[in-house]
Amino acid sequence: MKILAGIDFSEVSDQVVNKAAEYALAFDAKLWLVHVAAPNPDFVGYEVGPKVVRDHRANELKKEHAKLKEYADACEEMGVRCIPLLIQGTTLDTILEVLNKLNVDLVVIGSHTNSSLYDFVVGSIKNELFHKAKLPVLLVPRNSKDS
């Protein structure tokens, strides 16, 4: 079995990692911790910007990768085969691409409990993922007691 946990470094990320690791242990599954970082400005048609901006972005990516590695190391200590992936791109498209590439069996993501109005106006990755993933999606609520 293969499990993908979507990590966004929000307040629910710890719970997502814990729940995904719990399932990975229960099903002797391999776990991928995936964080999708915003694409570089030149990717979306903007100028790259001065060196200070590029350096700042590189620092952000290093910090995100280090945090992802911390999560993966904690999972490995629990006995879970875990691979951290930091990928730049648009969130939904990138996650769907990774799901297909890895042939994942289960997706674990967190819920931020935004209002329905917010989800309607801005959109919701979780709602889009539910409709497009074509596989089970486990939604971990913020402050889940059993995580």
Here the CATH number for the domain that contains residue 14 is 3.40.50.620
In a domain, 146, yes or no: no
Please give the tally of structural domains in the chain.
1
Residue-level pLDDT, tens digit, the chain, 147 residues: 999 999 999 889 999 999 999 999 999 999 999 999 988 766 545 566 677 877 888 889 999 999 999 999 999 999 999 999 999 998 889 999 999 999 999 999 988 655 554 444 434 677 777 777 889 989 898 775 544
**Residue 16 is part of which domain span?**
2-141
In a domain, 39, yes or no: yes
* Tokens at 136, concatenated: 């089970």
In a domain, 11, yes or no: yes
In a domain, 16, yes or no: yes
In a domain, 112, yes or no: yes
Measure CA 88 to chain center.
Answer: 11
In a domain, 10, yes or no: yes
In a domain, 89, yes or no: yes
In a domain, 147, yes or no: no
